[in-house]
Structure 1
Amino acid sequence: MEKIALITDTTCDLSQDILDKYNIKQLAFRIIYKDREFRDKLEITSEKVYNDLNVEIPTSSMPSMDDMEEIFTSLEKEGYTHVIAIVLSSGLSGIYNGIKIVGENHPKLNTHIFDSRNISLGEGIMVLECARMIEEGKNFDYIVESLPSLRQKIGTYFVVGTLEYLKKGGRIGKVAGTLGELLNIKPIIAIDHEDGKYYTYCKVRGRKQSLNKLVDTMKEILEKSKCKIYVMHGNAEKDAKYVFEKIKDMKNVTSSFLGGCISPVSGVHSGPGLVGVAYLLEE
C-alpha cells in the first residue's frame, strides 16, 4: 500500500490552511541580514522585509540541507513509502539539486523531485493539484507521469514596481532593465517553461498601463481557454484587487482566487509593488 508524502517550499505561497488540509510538508528558505538570519515565513513576515528594504536589502539562500534531511527522516518514521517534492524553479534557485541529493540518501523512500519551473502561486497551483491527486487516491506512478503535462498548463505573469531588486538579486534572467527604468518602462514578466527563468513578455510605459496590460494578457488567454485564475501581490494589495476585479468575471474563468502577499524571500528579490497572475488551463 502506497503512502505518498508531498513536499514543497515557502515560495509556493499556499496558505497554511491548505498546507494543513493536505498535510503538505514545507521547506523554508533563508533570509540573511548582516547580523542575523531568518527562516522564510516562520520567523519573518513579508511586511517586515518590505519595511526594512530602505535600511538593508538582505540576501537569501535555499533551505538548509539539515532541514531537508529532517523532513525525509521524519517521513520514514511516519511510515511513508513514496515522496513527491515540487519546488521552486531550478532557473531561480538551487533547491531542486539540493533536495535531489538528500532524497538519494533515503533509498527506503521512492522519491520523485519535480522542478516546477515556476514561482509563487504558479508553483503553488502545481502543488495543490498534486495534493488533490494524492487525496483522490491516484497512485504514485500516475501522479509522476501527470506532472510534466500539468506544468505546461500553468503560466505566471507579473509586474514589479521597479526592476532594482531583481537586478540586485541576480534574478533578472532575460529581462532587460537599465534604460527601461529611466523611461518608466514596465515590462510584463513571464517565466519560460523550458529553463524556468524570467523573460520579458511585453513592455508598456507606466504603472497603470502595466496593470491594464496584465489584465489584457489574461483576457487573450481566456478567449481561447477555460482557466483557474490566481492573483498575488508583493506589498501592493490595492493594485492586486484592481487586477483581480477586472479578471474574475471574464468569460472562461472557472474559478478565481485572490491570494495574499508573496513569501518574504520572494519579496526580497522582487521588491515592493509586484502584482502577479497565475493560471491553470483546463480541458
Structure 2
Amino acid sequence: MNELIAVSVDSGCAPTRSFVEEHKLFFMGMKIIIDDKEYNDEFDFMENVFYNIVESSREFHTAQPPLGQVLDYYNDIKSKGYTKLLDIHFSSKMSGLYDTCVMASKMVEGLEVTVVDTRKVSIGAHLIAKKLIELIERGLEIDEAVSRVPEIIQDTFMEFSVPTLKYLIKNGRIGKAQGLAGTLLNIKPILSVDEEGYISPVAKLRGMKKLQEQMVSNVLEFLERRRESVVLYSIYGSEEYSDIAKETTEKTVELIEENLGIQRNEIELVTGRIWPTIACHSGPAVFGLACYGEKERK
C-alpha cells in the first residue's frame, strides 16, 4: 500500500498563505484571547482582525488547543487517507503545544505522527519547516529528514526587536534576556532564539538607525560562510514597523550583493506579518529578520 504523507505547521511557524497553499500543508492555530473573547489564530484573523483591535485592547494572551482538539485534528487528517504526518512546531520552550502534540501522537491510531520541535519561533521556525518540507518533497523518509533538524538549526539565524520587554516578561517568555529587564530606557534590544529554544539577547543599541545597521551586520556575518540556498524572511507586527522592516530588508539584500557576491535573484525573499500567536508573547510592536544559508548546497 502506498504511504501518503501529510505535513502540518502551526501559527508559531509564521507560514504565509502562499506557502501553505503551494505545499498543501495542514495548519494548526493557537487560541487567542482578547478582552475575554476567544478567537482562532488563522489567516483571516491575522490579516483582517487582530491588528485592528489589539492596540486598543486591555488584555490579550494565547491558549494552546487542548489534547482532545489536537487528537481530533490528527484523526481528521487520517480520515483523508494519510498514513503518516510530519507535524512541525515552534519552540517547546515558548509553548506547551509541542508536548500536547507528542501526547496526542501516541493516542491516535492508524496515523504515524512525527512531531518536530524547531527550537525557534516565527520566522526562524518557518525557515526550518521550509527546509524540512523541501527534503520530504525530494523523497527523503521522514526519519531521515528529521535527523537533519540540528544541522538545519545551525544554518538558521533569526533576530527581532521590541520597544519594551513587558509582554515577554508578563507572559513568561523572557528566557535568557531577563538581564535586560529594567534597562531599556532609550535603548533598543536585538533578541534572538538560541539553539535550546530560549529567547536570548544579541545586542542593545541607542536609536533605530543603529539598530537596523546592527541587524543587517548580524545577517551578513552569519551568511559569510553560508552562501548557498540563501533565504531571507522579514516580518513586522504593528503597522508603524512596516516601513522599518522594508528598509532593513532592502539594505540587507543590497549589502549581501555588495559584500558576499550573492546576486539578488539568488536570494529567496519572504515577507509577512507576525502571527498573533507570537505577537501576544512579544507585544505587537515588533519586527524581525531571519536568514537561512548553507555552507554547501544540500
Aligned to 2:68: 66
Equivalent residues in 2 for 1:106-255, closer than 5 Å: 106-175=108-177, 176-182=179-185, 184-194=186-196, 196-226=197-227, 227-235=230-238, 236-249=241-254, 250=256, 251=260, 253=262, 254-255=266-267
Change (3 A) 1:46 1:65: farther
Change (3 A) 1:179 1:206: farther
1:278 maps onto 2:283 in alignment: no
1:87 maps onto 2:99 in alignment: no
Does the 8 A contact of 2:161 with 2:286 survive in 1? yes
- Runs of 4+ in structure 1 deviating by more than 6 angstroms, as ranges, are none
Change (3 A) 1:244 1:149: same
Q: Unaligned 5+ residue runs, structure 2?
A: none
Q: Aligned residues, how many?
A: 281
1:58 shift after superposition: 0.7
1:264 maps onto 2:264 in alignment: no
SS of the residue aligned with 1:92? coil
CA distance in 2, matches of 1:47, 1:199: 31
Could you tell me which amino acid in structure 2 is paired with residue 220 of structure 1?
Answer: E
Does the 8 A contact of 1:12 with 1:122 survive in 2? yes
CA distance in 2, matches of 1:84, 1:198: 25
Does the 8 A contact of 1:12 with 1:124 survive in 2? yes
1:66 shift after superposition: 3.5
Change (3 A) 1:161 1:26: same
1:154 shift after superposition: 1.3
CA distance in 2, matches of 1:181, 1:48: 30
- Residues 12-41 of structure 1, C-alpha deviation per residue, up to 9 Å, x if partnerless? 111122112211111110111343100113
> TM-score w.r.t. structure 2 length?
0.87
Q: Unaligned 5+ residue runs, structure 1?
A: none
Change (3 A) 1:185 1:6: same
Identity %: 28
Could you tell me which amino acid in structure 2 is paired with residue 97 of structure 1?
Answer: D
SS of the residue aligned with 1:179? coil
- Residues 45-78 of structure 1, C-alpha deviation per residue, up to 9 Å, x if partnerless? 3674444334313111113333312221122222
1:164 shift after superposition: 2.2
Deviates more, 1:105-114 or 1:242-251: 105-114
How large is the RMSD of aligned CA atoms in angstroms?
1.9
> TM-score w.r.t. structure 1 length?
0.91
Does the 8 A contact of 2:236 with 2:286 survive in 1? yes
1:92 shift after superposition: 0.4
Change (3 A) 1:89 1:225: same
Change (3 A) 1:252 1:113: farther
Identify, as 1 or 2, the structure richer in helix.
2
CA distance in 2, matches of 1:255, 1:117: 24
Aligned to 1:31: 32
1:208 shift after superposition: 2.3
Change (3 A) 1:57 1:34: closer
